[in-house]
Chains A and B, each alone.
Chain A
Amino acid sequence: MNRNKAMIGIMLALVLLPAGARAQQEPQKQHKGKIVLTSITEVEVTETNAKGEKEMKRLEIGKSKVVPGNVLVYTTTYRNIGKQPAEDIVITNPVPAHMEYVDRSAEGKGTKIAFSADKGKSYGTPYELTIADAKGKKRGVDAKEYTHLQWTVVKPLPPGGSGRVSFKARLQ
C-alpha cells in the first residue's frame, strides 16, 4: 500500500542575515528563514467504544481506507528553529481537489483564521465572504465552497516556539 506518503518536513537550511550586515546580500528568494513547516493527514473515523458509545478517532492514513464520504484531518505544524523571533507568520492551505471543507472545523490557537472562495485571491471571515453569481449579484458563501484557508499568527514566535493549525475536509 503506498497511500500514505506523510513524510516529516525537510529542514530548510538557511543563512541568518542580521540587519546592517556587511556581507554580500544574496537575492531574497535564496534566503530562507528558520521555520519548519510540517504537514500530516489523518482519517477521522467513528468507532463504537467498549461502552457502546460512538467515538471519533483519528487514524494515520495507512491504518484506514479512504473512500468518498470520509473526513480527513489536515494538520500543519510550524516551528521556529532559528535564533530570532519570527513575525507576521501567515500559513495558507488550499482545500485539496475533490474535497469539501467541513464547516467550523478550522483550528489554530493564537491565530486569526480567514477563508477564500476565489482560489486565494482574497480572504475574509465567513461573514465577509461573498461570491458573485453569473449576473454579478453577490451572495454569501457556503463552507463547502471555500478554496483556501489562511491562519495569521497573532504574536511573534520566539526561537524554539511552535504552533499547530488544522482543518477537516470531506472527500466528495
Chain B
Amino acid sequence: MTTAKKTDMNNYQERLKRTIMTAVLIALVGLLTPAKSGAMGTAAGTLLNNTASASYTMGAGSYSITSNTNTIKVDEIVNITLVWQDALPGVMVTAGQTNRVLTMKLSNTGNAADTYTLSAIATRISTTDFTPAPSGLYLDANGNGSYDPGVDLPYDPDTNVPSVAPDQSLTIFLMGNIPATGLFDGQKGNLQLSAVSKTASGAPHAILSGKGPGNCDVVVGLTGGQASAVGTYVDSGIEVNVLKAAVVANQLGGKQPVPGATIHYTLVVTAGGSGTAVDVVITDPIPANTTYVAGSLKLDNAALSDAADADAGDENATTANTVTVKLGNMTSSTPARTIAFDVKIN
C-alpha cells in the first residue's frame, strides 16, 4: 500500500530539480549550406580557356582564323568562418552542471575542400566571469544541428577532424563543465573555440606553391585560414518547484487507501527566482503496488493522451511506468501549471 507522504514530496523535489536542470540547447540549427555552383568561388584547379576568332575579307576571298588558346588554372584560396549559434545572452546553466553544449558553426568559405584543427579554452570577457572547463568537442556527424550522443562523435586530431567542402558548413558542439560553487545569478562564463585550416594558415596573401588541387597554388585568404568564436554560459538562478498532493477515494465512498481505491495526484509546478528554466520536463514514476488509470492524465484540466504524440505528456511511453509532461520554458511570471493523474491501488 502506498500513500503520498511529505518525505516522498521532498525526494520528488530533489529528483525534479535534477530533471529540470537538464536544459535543452537553444541551438539555431546549423544547416548545411546548400552547394551552389560558384557561390563561394570556382573550384580550385579549374582550367579557364580563352580563344579568340576572327573573320575578314582580303581581295576576293573570305577567311576565318583563331588565336592561340590561353589556359589559366584557378588557384585555391583558403578562408574559414566560425560563428557561435546559441541565442543571446547565452546558454542557461546552473552550478555543477557538466557537459553543457555551446553550438558553433564552422564554414568553409574558400574554393576547395579543407580539414581543420580545433582547440578550446576558457576565456574571460569581464572580470566577474566564472571559468567553465572545456569538457568535450563533438562533430555534428548527421548534420542535424543538435548533439546526438553516440552518433556525433568526438573530435580527434588524428582520426576525426572536421572536413568541409567549399561553400559548406559543419556544426561543432563545444562542451563545458560549470563550476560547482561560487556562482551568482546572471554571472557569465565563456569558452572559445578556435579552428585552423590544415591546408594553409597565417598571413593573408601568403602563397603555397603547387599545394592545391591539380597542383595549383594555395593562397591564404583574408581570414588567415583560421577563425575563433566565443560562446557564453549564463548562470541562471531559476528554481522549479513542484507541490504534489494526493486525494484518495475508495469504492466504498470513503477515504481509506484500500486495494481498489483510486489515488488522485495533482502536481502544481511553478518557477521562482530569476532567469528562465529551459524546457522543463516533469517526470513522476507510478508508485509501486499501484496501476495507472489509463486516460487520466491531464494538464491544466485538459486531457493528455497516454501515448507519446504531439501533446505535452504521456504515460509509460517516454519512460516505462512513468508520467512525463513537458512544460516548455518557465520563468517566475509563468502561471502555475497543474498536472493531474490517477492510479488505482493494486
Contacts and interface: CB of A to CB of B under 8 A. Distances in A.
A38 to B, nearest CB: 6
Interface in B60-108: 60-63, 65-77
B57 A87 contact: yes
A10 B61 CA distance: 21
B65 A67 contact: no
B48 A97 contact: yes
Q: Which of B54, B59, B63, B221 has the most CB of A within 10 A?
A: B54
Given A38-B68, A39-B69, A33 B58 contact: yes
A138 interface: no
Contacts of B58: 16, 33-35, 82, 84-87
Contact of A72 (B66, B72, B76): B72
Given A86-B58, A87-B58, A98-B48, A68 B111 contact: yes
Contact of B53 (A4, A34, A37): A37
Contacts of A7: 68
B50 A66 contact: no
Contacts of A91: 52-54
B52 A17 contact: no
Q: Main secondary structure on chain B at its contact with chain A?
A: strand
A28 B60 CA distance: 11
A131 interface: no
Interface in B183-234: 207, 209-210, 215-217, 219, 221
A9 to B, nearest CB: 5
Nearest to A14: B63
Interface string B32-44: 0000001011100
A88 B56 contact: yes
A68 B77 contact: yes
A5 B59 contact: no
B63 A37 contact: no
Contact of A41 (B41, B50, B55, B209): B50
Interface string A4-26: 11111110100011110000000
A172 B36 CA distance: 12
Nearest to B60: A19
A69 B58 CA distance: 41
B46 interface: yes
Contact of B56 (A18, A35, A76): A35
Contacts of B66: 37
B59 A35 contact: no
B51 interface: yes
11 contacts: A3-B73, A3-B216, A5-B72, A18-B59, A19-B60, A34-B58, A39-B70, A89-B56, A90-B54, A90-B55, A93-B53
Given A35-B54, A97-B48, 17 more contacts: A1-B217, A2-B73, A9-B68, A16-B58, A31-B63, A33-B61, A35-B63, A37-B52, A37-B65, A41-B70, A65-B217, A67-B75, A68-B38, A68-B42, A91-B52, A172-B41, A172-B42
